[in-house]
């Protein structure tokens, strides 16, 4: 997929599941379960053992799923993830060198930011989206709404503490997508290989995002 196509799909889907687990097999199971539930995009965090190998395997055998690399700390890691087939790079904090590297590689990049200054710096550096993290702990939907006032042109992704109770409010506040981790991919669900439980949660979050967007469209 092209850079423009990946960005369009992320906006369309509106959910980026963050997979942070303890083994390659758990990561592969989680990615398959989430995509099977109707969310064909995943973020494999680099804190997962064998993350680069997982990204390579998923991109090799699952052409219909967008696989990104999360918690990217440096350019070396970013390069390894892109070489393995990652469709986007994201992080929980702002490292301008990673953003600049992604821009040079014509790769989709979603840097993390928290303050208005970081949001502005990320956007000026060439970010495709800016991920506000940890969003819930810093005011939740109200913080997204506040950032949208000075930065209406910047597509913001809400991440950190997004759950079934507040997901719709984040969309109503102006987030173009949601980064969701443990509230979608529970550790117990992974450990017990409860694929249907993840399917059900994926469907619920899809419905929440859809309902919120329908409200905005009225």
Query: What digits encode the pLDDT tens for the residues 77-121?
Result: 999 999 999 999 999 999 999 999 999 999 999 999 999 999 999
Pairing of strands 177-180, 130-132: unpaired
Q: What is the domain partition of the chain in residue ranges?
A: 3-217
Residue 5: what are its φ and ψ, rounded to 5°?
-70, -40
Estimate the crossing angle of helix 51-61 against helix 75-83, to 10 degrees: 30
What are 143-166's pLDDT values in tens digits? 999 999 999 999 999 999 999 999
State in words which class domain 3-217 has. alpha beta
How far CA 187 is from CA of 19, 55, 165, 194, 199, in Å, comes to 10, 20, 20, 10, 14
């Amino acid at each position: 997929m092209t850079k423009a196509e990946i960005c369009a799909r992320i906006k369309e889907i509106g959910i980026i599941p963050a997979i942070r687990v303890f083994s390659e097999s758990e990561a592969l199971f989680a990615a398959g379960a989430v995509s099977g539930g109707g969310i064909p995009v995943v973020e494999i965090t680099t804190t997962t053992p064998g993350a680069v190998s997982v990204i390579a395997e998923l991109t090799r055998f699952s052409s219909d799923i967008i696989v990104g690399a999360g918690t990217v700390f440096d350019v070396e890691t970013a390069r390894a993830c892109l070489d393995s087939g990652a469709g986007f790079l994201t992080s929980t904090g702002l490292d301008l060198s990673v953003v600049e590297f992604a821009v040079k590689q014509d790769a989709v990049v979603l840097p993390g930011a928290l303050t208005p200054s970081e949001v502005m710096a990320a956007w000026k550096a060439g970010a495709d989206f800016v991920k506000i993290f940890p969003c819930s702990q810093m005011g939740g939907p109200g913080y997204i709404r506040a950032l949208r006032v000075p930065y209406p042109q910047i597509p913001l992704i809400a991440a950190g503490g997004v759950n079934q109770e507040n997901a719709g409010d984040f969309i109503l506040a102006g987030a173009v997508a949601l980064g969701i981790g443990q509230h979608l991919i529970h550790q117990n669900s992974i450990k017990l290989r409860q694929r249907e439980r993840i399917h059900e949660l994926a469907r619920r979050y899809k419905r929440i995002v859809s309902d919120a967007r329908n409200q905005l469209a009225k």
